[in-house]
Structure 1
């Protein structure tokens, strides 16, 4: 009898085909993606990777500027400053990421009050500091910081708590405006006062993300959106510099390689030099005082030059994975506070990353916002890490996640106890 006529014996005798294992591997992948800890590891992993890349790229991009600022004493001033803020924020981030949702909700009010009060420092001439044409900075005891960066964090978590408490009442204009709408208007109004249009746009994304996930009716979005477009248009028209940037971007103005177009042109030159694989880490030419803000607003251009298109795509991929992790929390978490706060933070962090990258590659006008977790700047780094600590805490409190993590931790402690050498008897 042939092999075809006796499948049973043939099946027992033959080696398993490669295709036989595909369903098992696929099912394992699906099971891992649906695991209670998948979101937690996704958010933690991408956050850690972006933070590590940021520290390395700040070290590379800031060396020449540090030598200039210190009179040639050290090339590491910019990196050490960034590393200092990262090390200060990391323990706090770990503590916050392990708190329960009820504690995070309680903390949202003190955080909002503190960050709202910090905005008032902009009205004190002795503290106010102007940089790049924007009076958005405060200097106290020699330490400069940007209150609007802290305000993003405070508003995001507070909107999560307030809008979650409102619930179905948000179908009414009155409950949308009080107190969420009024506080949002205060925060974004303070940013407009400093004439920082880029940060104001990020606040708009943050507020829209929170109210959208909270369930505010679309008709309200249309009304507020038209008002916002009018305010932004008036703000742009009132500034010759902003109008010049917009018209140049739209191709209707005369490009000035030494004026408002300089950063965009030189950033694209850096990308072109990098090619597919880059010129090598630390080998950028643009950072030699050629590209302004090389370690801050245009650090993505240095990434493209030194690490090439592949390195830039890796960074984009990490932001995409972070966005997926936050979307999973919005979809899967049972607490509306976690959903709304995560939506606000996602709109802020991912939206700001996309705007920064679009500006660096010439797909948007230059509006001057840092690349989250990567650009130099203590205010941006600390507040972004604090916000993502909340997101990690939400991921940790997804159904079943905490229990699995505790079981794995207990299993690891048991394994270490078995491997540890026993102490001899007296």
Structure 2
């Protein structure tokens, strides 16, 4: 699906597309449904801990709704900003993202779960996770710098400078906060950008070998990571009260859900048996309460989102738009797959949330801003803007006719 491998359609093929705005609709609809579904499941999964902490089952959820409102508003604004603006602002965005991440070295930094990757907003108790916004900035920046190099991607020096350098700085800053999970997602994002840009597969193999070595070193350098990985591979005895707690209870939740689940709100694992039930392991609660039907619904929505992003990459004529969409898609869809694989026991616990579904203000807002950028790119596909304008006029005309008929009947 690279820019140079025939992924771009010819004008004749593009003309034959029945709906140039389909990518926009697929991305918007699947994202909206995931956000709505996530809001319901976060309420269900967080009620017990919310009552324990505040006495109200809705206290945490109202805060999540505020994040949803901010994120959706930001996505709408980003969607209507021309995608060329992001290309012109790429260096500024990356610089801002790196500076924000550097705040983890200041007194404003806060630790959580062994990670020093949060920053408190002065004068409040609210914390933000800068690395989430750094992922968005990195995706846009890679789109801008690699778009100028698509014809020279065979030259590894051209491909690596400045892309690998900038990406490496971003990853090292995240790792400085001991957040290996977010760093792993950033690697997936970078791979997505370089793949769409047309980097040869042989280089990915080399990067994979180096990445495996670096990953092994990072695992061995942390006692908690060693425990999680050792438990995953069966090298150590599973500790049901330690490293094995989340994976074990996550699988119990999924297993008890069956086909149709135990019912919305009826989860047993959320009664403080499963840590982070409303966050990293919310997919387990979905499986417990809504069963296989619920988990397949979530998977289907992410697949629809991926199809919309793939279609945007395939149809667009601007390399910047293609690479940026590919990077954002690799981030969001890749993180969803990683989260689900962790919950079902195919990967060790990495501490990454399920995009658009898990709790967490920074992750939700940053992901929705990324969706907004994707919608901006989708709006600029050949023929999409006109198709959306025509559809909007048709909808307004239909609404006017309906209103007129109601008035006459009245």
Query: Normalization by structure 2: what TM-score?
Result: 0.91
Match for 2:116 among 135, 139, 163? 135
Match for 2:47 among 27, 43, 63? 63
- 1:157-196: CA deviations, max 9, x gaps? 1111111022313332332232211110000001111111
Partner of residue 372, structure 2: 389
**Quick check: 1:162 aligned with 2:142?**
no
Partner of residue 86, structure 1: 68
CA distance in structure 2 between the partners assigned to 1:371 and 1:94 by the alignment: 21
Partner SS, residue 153 of structure 2: helix
CA distance in structure 2 between the partners assigned to 1:413 and 1:236 by the alignment: 57
Query: In 1, are the aligned partners of 2:75 and 2:369 still within 8 Å (CA)?
Result: yes
CA distance in structure 2 between the partners assigned to 1:268 and 1:245 by the alignment: 16
CA distance in structure 1 between the partners assigned to 2:264 and 2:286 by the alignment: 9
- 1:171-228: CA deviations, max 9, x gaps? 3233223221111000000111111111111011011110111112333333333222
Query: In 2, are the aligned partners of 1:32 and 1:38 still within 8 Å (CA)?
Result: no
CA distance in structure 2 between the partners assigned to 1:413 and 1:32 by the alignment: 27
Return the offset for 1:32: 11
CA distance in structure 1 between the partners assigned to 2:113 and 2:403 by the alignment: 58
Larger radius of gyration: 1
Return the offset for 1:109: 2.9
CA distance in structure 2 between the partners assigned to 1:245 and 1:89 by the alignment: 33
CA distance in structure 2 between the partners assigned to 1:399 and 1:194 by the alignment: 42
Partner of residue 38, structure 2: 54
Partner SS, residue 148 of structure 2: helix
Partner SS, residue 127 of structure 2: strand
Return the offset for 1:309: 0.8
Return the offset for 1:133: 0.7
Structure 2 unaligned regions, length at least 5: 1-14
For the aligned residues, what is the CA RMSD?
Answer: 1.9
**Quick check: 1:112 aligned with 2:94?**
yes
**How many pairs are equivalent?**
390
Partner of residue 36, structure 1: 20
Structure 1 unaligned regions, length at least 5: 1-30
**Quick check: 1:222 aligned with 2:205?**
yes
**Quick check: 1:317 aligned with 2:303?**
no
CA distance in structure 2 between the partners assigned to 1:418 and 1:108 by the alignment: 45
Query: In 2, are the aligned partners of 1:78 and 1:376 still within 8 Å (CA)?
Result: no
Partner SS, residue 171 of structure 1: coil
- 1:64-106: CA deviations, max 9, x gaps? 1111222x1x211221111101101212211211222212322
Return the offset for 1:419: 5.1
Query: In 1, are the aligned partners of 2:282 and 2:358 still within 8 Å (CA)?
Result: yes
CA distance in structure 1 between the partners assigned to 2:343 and 2:387 by the alignment: 42
CA distance in structure 1 between the partners assigned to 2:359 and 2:375 by the alignment: 23
CA distance in structure 1 between the partners assigned to 2:83 and 2:112 by the alignment: 38
- 1:222-281: CA deviations, max 9, x gaps? 333322221111011122322222222122321111111011111111112211111111
**Quick check: 1:411 aligned with 2:390?**
no
Q: Which has the higher contact order (CA 8 A, sep 6+)?
A: 2
Q: Single out whichever of 142-151 and 166-175 deviates more from structure 2.
A: 166-175
**Quick check: 1:122 aligned with 2:104?**
yes
